Amino acid sequence: MRLPRWSARDWRAMLALVATVAGAAVLTGLSMWLVATIAASGAGDRALALPALKALARSNYGLLVIIGTVLLSLGLAINRRSVKARAFGAEFEADGGARHPDERRADG
């Protein structure tokens, strides 16, 4: 089997994609386990129904925050970044992450 001749950046992007899919699968499994556990603990007891639902909502919101943080950090680590801002007469511009090393030497 021959592997394609990808650049290091492409391999990192592929690794990030695989890690994102695997991480989402693990967090989805954790969410399913939480739902089953909380549903089983609150089954048949109406007094536990609302607290169980609130606990389930909080845990799944936490998982959504983790997933969002991972996706944002992978996006910042792999993709080209460009930030431009203007406020009160001042300007700010920064970029990086996508240029080839040979191009960097030519700039400066």
pLDDT in tens, 40-60: 776 777 777 778 778 888 888
Q: Is the per-residue pLDDT at 32 higher than 60?
A: yes
Number of compact structural domains in the chain = 1
Mean pLDDT on 72-83: 69
| Both structure tokens of 86 | 């203007």
| Neighbour-count burial of 101, counting CB atoms closer than 10 A to its CB (0-12 exposed, 13-18 middle, 19+ buried) | exposed
Q: How confident is the model at residue 20 (pLDDT cuts 50, 70, 90)?
A: confident
- Kindly write down the DSSP assignment for every residue of 26-76, as one continuous string: HHHHHHHHHHHHHHHHHTT-HHHHHHHHHHHHHHHHHHHHHHHHHHHHHHH
Q: Is the per-residue pLDDT at 96 higher than 70?
A: no
Please report whether residue 21 resides in a domain: yes
Please report whether residue 88 resides in a domain: no
Greater pLDDT, 26 or 101: 26
The reported pLDDT for the residue numbered 39 is 76
Please report whether residue 67 resides in a domain: yes
Q: Is the per-residue pLDDT at 25 higher than 70?
A: yes
Please report whether residue 59 resides in a domain: yes
The chain-wide mean pLDDT, for the chain, equals 76
Cα separation of 53 and 46, whole Å? 11
Range of the domain at 13: 8-80
Please report whether residue 51 resides in a domain: yes
